[in-house]
Structure formats: C-alpha cells, structure tokens
Amino acid sequence: MSPKKKLLIIGIIMNCGGTEKSFLSFANCLDYTRYDVDLLLVKRTGELYGSIPKEINVIEMPDSQYADMFMLSGKNAVKTIWNCFCKKNPLMLFGILPYFVNIIFNPKKRSDIANRLWCRLLQKFSVLEGEYDIAAAYWGDRTMFYMVDKVKAKKKIAWLHFEYGNPPRDDMLYHNYFKQCDNVVTVSEKINETLVSKFPDLSDRFITIQNINNPKHIWNMALQDESFPDQWFTGKRLLTIARISKQKGLDLAVEALKVLCKEEINVRWYIIGGGDKEDIDYIKAKAVEEEVAHMFILLGTKQNPYPFMRDCDIYVQPSRYEGKPITVEEAKIMYKPIVATDYLSASEQLDFGELGIITDIDSKAIYGGIRQLLDDDTLRDRFTMRLSERDFGNAEEIEKFYKISE
C-alpha cells in the first residue's frame, strides 16, 4: 500500500459560512487512508469548529499577531493594520501610507490596491514550518496568497468560491499567483469559463469541482431541532440564509418586502446569518424606514439552519453577485420553491429556470418572482415535484480532487 500523503488545508476560522460548510462536506468525504491531514486555521474558533472531523489535525497559524489580517475589510483596515504592524514599528507607516493615498485618489481601484498592500504585508509573516505533499488553500484568495508565499509543498491547489470578475480584480496580481498554483479549483462551470477567458495561458490549470452535497446529512439535521419561534404565524414564510452585507442584497429584500406589505400580503421574511455591526445596524434601520420591521426578522447565526429551511415556504437568494451559493443547493435538496437573482451561476444552479425562478438583480424583479410563487400554488408544487425527482448528492466530486492531487 502506498504511504499516505501529507495534505495541508489552509483555512481562516470556522464560522457558519458557505465556505466553511463546503469544507466540512469535502472533509467528510475525504479518504483518510490516503492522506494525513493538517488544517491550518488563523484562529481555532467559530461556531462550526466542533464539526471538524476527528481525523484532521488542527494547527494554528504561527503568526498570531497577524491573525486579524485575514479578516481585513474596508471598515477595519486602518485599525487592523495599525495594531498588527505600525503599533510596534511606526516607521512602517511610510511604506503603507502611499497605498491609502492611492485608494483615496483612485476609489474605483480600491480593491486592487488593497490586495497589493495585503500581499506586501504578507511578506512580514513567517514561513510555515515543515513540507507537505499537497497544500490546498480552501478559503479563497487570501489563503492562496499565503500558500504561495509561505507554505512549502510539492503541489499547490487554490479554491475560488467567488465570482472572479465581481467585484473587479487585479488581473496582473492574480495571474502571478495563479501561475504558481498547480491547479485552481472553481465551484461553478461559469466561474471556470470566466477564468479561462481572462487567463487563456493558464487554462489547463483551472478545474471545476462542485461543492459536495450530502442530502442524507442535511435531512437528518433538519429533523433535529425546532425552527421558527412564532409558530402561531399563519402566513407564508420567506427565508434567506446569508451574511448581512451589500453583496447579499438584503437591502433589495427590504424594498421587495415593502411592496408585499403595501399589498397586504401576509408574509414574513426571515434572515439567518451574522455580519459586521455596521451592516446589521444599516439593514435594521432600513427595515424601520420602509415600515417593514415587523415582517423582516433577523434570527442571527444558527449552527443548524436546516429546520428553518424545512419549515419555510419559499427560499430567496437576493444576492448582487455570487460564486455558487451552497444555501441554494441546500434549498434544492429540501425541495423548496426558490427565487434567486441572476448572479453568475444562477442558471447553472436552477437549470435555466426549470428548478426555480431567476430574476433580475433589483427589488422590483425580486418582488415579482416572490409574488408569482405566492399567487400560484400549482407553480410552487411543480418546482417542488421537479426538485424531488432529482438526485443532488454528488460525493463523486471528491474523485476529481484525488486525480489532481496525485
């Protein structure tokens, strides 16, 4: 029997997010007779930390003082960079300041400049000790940057869970990192096509490995806990599971709900997911402003959201852009009528409208899709029947990983 290969998976933290759930599905299908697996986390924390398979050895990134850099955002950038770098070495300000000035004068290139600054600061991190047969940067671009620059491995594989072109990215920077990876995994054929068109010279490195779905596990989880606290409510329940952020389009959801409210439609729209305090405060204020706060209910993060999906009437994904949201796959597994905006992989996920309604990315269109399902019991039943006839289990996707890891 061949000796086990040493596999390093690079993550960030184990929050209740799509990437984390995708990783757990991947990890639960992995053949541990083939691999000795280390999971490198920036911090040993998150609601799903306890769900990591026992076969995986969890290690923490050695540069704990830089951990917050992996959670860097426009809202916390100044404070985080100051605490991680400049507080101990104020002279670093002279190297960092030009990037912030550039962002002020070139706001449209904010993301590009920020990524270049991130990669520059990454050079201060220590190289990870040891060498692996395979390293897999599963949590997206920042883990890819870290893997390429700071990890020693015979083979390097990067996962992209997002739509590459939205928001726009620095092609030169990404090309430099992609070419240092043996493979770049996308979770959608559409994302793969985008990358091939952007980087034709690297096309042989791009491969699609779908997020692995486990219908039996999802249904088992759905039957374990109670769901909505207002069991007395007799109207229709809309559900969205998403991080509260502009990307996920919850402001569009509030605007669509306002129209439903004006038309005296008896619905409630429930949101499961966390987010930055500023984003949560904004969406709460908008719900109050639009006079729908009594119908727009934030339930916070739930370690087991499946009972809520089980009991909702319609699942709605109002995102402005997405890679391939795992929540839509889960709604399909649970046979829920779905309304999704036309993000890059929506047609791929919903079979060009055969498995759900795809709308334009605006509040009027989202309202129209919801209203169509609310008004037409037959249409809802038709989607449910079509979904129940499909098999959404795809554990065989793991074979693609075995092939590229050889």
Q: Per-residue pLDDT tens for 267-311? A: 999 999 999 999 999 999 999 999 999 999 999 999 999 999 999
Domain count across the chain: 2
For residue 133, give the 3-state DSSP assignment: strand
Higher pLDDT, 391 or 74: 391
The residue among 346, 395, 383 whose CA lies nearest residue 213 is: 395
166 lies in the same domain as 284 = no
- Residue 251's pLDDT is 98
Q: What is the DSSP string of 78-90?
A: HHHHIIIIITT-G
- Parent domain of 310: 216-388
Average pLDDT over residues 173-191: 96
* pLDDT greater than 80 at residue 2: no
Closest by CA to 42, choosing from 82, 78, 80, 10, is: 10
Residues 205 and 223 in one domain: no
Q: Do 47 and 76 fall into the same domain?
A: yes
Measured between alpha carbons, how far is residue 47 from residues 71, 214, 304 in Å? 16, 20, 10
Does residue 231 sit in the same domain as residue 344? yes
Mark whether 308 and 179 lie in a shared domain: no
State what percent of residues in the chain have pLDDT above 90.
84
Q: Within this chain, do residues 278 and 341 fall inside the same structural domain, yes or no?
A: yes
**Whole-angstrom Cα distance, residue 12 to residue 48?**
12
260 pLDDT higher than 90: yes
Mean pLDDT of 30-59: 96
CA pair distance 389, 236, nearest whole angstrom = 24
Rounded CA separation 315/303 (Å): 18
Asked whether 187 and 208 are in contact (CB, 8 A), the reply is yes
Same-domain status, 157 and 269:
no
| Cα distance between residue 195 and residue 277, in whole Å | 34
CATH number, position 264: 3.40.50.2000
pLDDT higher than 70, residue 116: yes
Same domain, 382 and 400: no
Collapsing DSSP states into helix, strand and coil, what is residue 234?
A: coil
Query: What pLDDT is recorded for position 144?
Result: 98
Name the residue with tokens 């796959």.
329
Question: For residue 173, what pLDDT is reported?
Answer: 95
Residues 206-235 have a mean pLDDT of 94
Query: Is the pTM higher than 0.75?
Result: yes
Computed over every residue of the chain, the mean pLDDT equals 95
Same domain, 232 and 331: yes
* Mean pLDDT, rounded, for 192-220: 95
* Whether residue 186 sits in one domain with residue 240: no
Q: Does 341 share its domain with 354?
A: yes
> What's residue 1's pLDDT?
61
If asked whether residues 230 and 82 sit together in one domain, one would say no
Q: How confident is the model at residue 168 (pLDDT cuts 50, 70, 90)?
A: confident
Residues in the chain: 406
pLDDT of 138 higher than 90: yes
